[in-house]
A and B are shown apart, each in its own frame.
Chain A
Amino acid sequence: MGLMYILILITILIGLLGVLFKRNLLLKILAMDVMGTGIISLFVLIAARPGIRTPTAIPAPATPYADPVPQAVILTAIVIGFSILALLLVCATALARRYPTMDSETIERHQEG
């Protein structure tokens, strides 16, 4: 359990570092998605608790079962993350016509000047 938390934390950090240090806009957007994936896994891990059995309605279950609530809500977050990713990529594609290198520094300097 502890190891899984550490791995998920590392995934989130890798995503964050990508957002901060990648200069390519496309990679920045993908790094953000890596961060999102890490957070979704965090929800799944929290939901798992000690039990991994499907939470079906049985009176007095013999083995511990997973918590269905975070799993249910995280579906919404996955859909939202997906739609935001799609919108960002469409936007980036439209920008790529003018800035083929997708270098965020170049775009920013150009927009200012």
Chain B
Amino acid sequence: MTAALWVVLVPFGLGIIGILIPRLSAILPLIGCGLTGWFSLHVLFTGLVHRFRLLDSFGVTLLVSPEMAWFTLTNAVVTAGVLFHLRKKSETSSFVHTLLILLHGCLNACFLSHDLFNLFVVIELTTIIAFLLMIFPMTDRHLWNALRYLFISNVGMLFYLIGTAMVYAVTGSFAFDAVAAAPPVASALLVAGLLVKGGIFLPGLWLPLAHAGADTPVSALLSGIVVKIGLFPLLALAQLSDRVAELLRILGTAGALTGLFFGFFERDIKRLLACSTLSQIGFILAAPSAGAFYAFTHGTAKTLLFLSTAALPDRDIRRLKESGIPRLTWAAMTVSALSISGLPLLAGFSAKASVFSGLLPWQRIPMLLAAAGTAALLARILFLRPRKMETTFSLSWISIFILAGCLFGGLWAGPYELTKLMESIGILLAGWAVHAAVTRHLDRFSLPGRWERFEDIVGMTCVTLLAMMLFMGYSGDL
């Protein structure tokens, strides 16, 4: 079963071929996506769970599981969508395509990895490639944005590295399973590092600026799949340790509400989408058992939303309200926004239903609020008018087809129980009512203070880390 390694090695090989023969670089990544997609579907349909160790004792443990398959499938779909989008842009260089396929391979490696130190290496590699993609047009704004991203990520990963050292000192192993036996402080450090990478709650507040500031295809990649490299290991840790699972439920619920709060005050459509990502990630963690499928539906929908912003005449939502948006873009945005809001028959509905059935009793009310808030937040995009208009750039039919196709895949997945259907329609209507009554007007105000400052995010990470150490110590009979 080392066949799983091919989904990492083939993309890397294709990347190297792409560097040597630039003419092929636009086609090669598709082969990688196809391979990853086929592999993920194979694992999903057979329900395969397989653990293996590379090379001898002290080797790297890898784990193939259906949860992993949902993440790699997201990776395949998102990368393919972005690739077809890039093909419509004539000026994209072969360098970007090469980076894309390398990123694809690194992400697959992250999802396969079941070893703390190996995970550190592949996460850092992913961060570096994402940084190179973000920096691309080389304006001052892009430079600053990419520098900020790399810096904050790296500080987070340093915390993670301390945690890894502590786990090894106690257990003599880097395997994920060792975390269960490690001291609570070590798990708090590991979780803190991954929270920064995954853009969760306060340590994740770097996310809106980074995701909104990058170029559209890169934003789609970052929001669709790159933030998931922090989430996947968190979900894996939650399965191994009950205390971590409890902690993640709290952080996920808090994160879902925080993201929404910031989103309501945004005027810029890309920042609004990034804030929505911040809140959706909370949903993924709130019920760790249902997180993998939710990550898939969110990844595809959010990629489609971000790609659609490329064809908009403006980024300001209020001006878009007056001018209207192109019809095709409108259709793509409506489908994905409805899926994230959880309209029955779309994939987002079944994902939300499974998250809600995995919640603990105390989480139910805040998460219902968060779901209604999501509907209210995305209503601002939903109620834009379609209009026939000339645009400089039109969307690629193939990427819309791939991404929207995945969302309509929810047609046969959904639990068709009357209570679930009524509940989700109730949430939607409540959200839209809130939108019409209150949140529609909130974008006139802007939040006081500058909550996205560099130092403040590192500071908030430290504070969250201390709070988590206390929490872990308290519940672990220290």
Seen from chain A, the residues whose Cβ lies within 8 Å of a Cβ on chain B are 12, 16, 19-21, 28-29, 32, 35-36, 39, 42-43, 46, 69-70, 73, 76-77, 80, 83-84, 87-88, 91-92, 94-95, 98, 104, 107-108, 111-112
Q: Bound complex: CA of A76 vs CA of B125, how far in Å?
A: 11
Docked-complex contact A95 and B128, CB < 8 angstroms? no
Q: B138-167 vs A: 1/0 string, CB under 8 Å?
A: 101101111100110011001001100100
How far, in whole Å, are A98 and B439 apart by their CA atoms in the complex? 39
Which of B117, B127, B135, B144 has a CB less than 8 Å from the CB of A73?
A: B117
Q: How far is the CB of A45 from chain B (nearest CB, A)?
A: 9
Q: Which residue of B lies closest to A84 (CB)?
A: B154
Q: Is B206 an interface residue (CB 8 A)?
A: no
* A88-B150, A88-B154, A91-B150 known, 13 other contacts, Cβ within 8 Å: A20-B458, A20-B459, A39-B158, A70-B168, A73-B174, A77-B120, A80-B124, A84-B127, A84-B154, A91-B143, A108-B453, A111-B144, A112-B450
Shortest Cβ distance from B58 into A: residue? A69
- Once the chains bind, are B165 and A46 in contact (CB under 8 Å)? yes
A39 touches B165 (CB 8 A): yes
B140 touches A87 (CB 8 A): no
Which DSSP category, helix, strand, loop or mixed, fits chain A's interface?
Answer: helix
A-B contact count (CB 8 A): 81
Q: Give the contacting residue for B144; candidates A19, A76, A107; CB below 8 A.
A: A107
Q: How far is the CA of A76 from the CA of B117 in the complex (A)?
A: 10
B121, CB-defined interface residue at 8 Å: yes
- In the assembly, what is the distance between CA of A111 and CA of B450, in Å? 12
Q: Indicate which residue in A12, A46, A76, A91 contacts B146 across the interface (CB closer than 8 Å).
A: A91
CB distance from B15 to the nearest CB of A (A): 17
Q: A73 vs B458: C-alpha distance in the bound complex, in angstroms?
A: 26
Determine the residue in chain B with the shortest Cβ distance to A67: B172
7 A-B pairs, CB-CB below 8 angstroms? A16-B462, A39-B158, A39-B161, A73-B117, A80-B124, A84-B128, A111-B141
Contact A43 B165 (CB under 8 A): yes
Q: B117: which A residues are within 8 A, CB to CB?
A: 73, 76
User: Which of B138, B143, B162 has its CB near the most chain A CB atoms (within 10 A)?
Assistant: B143
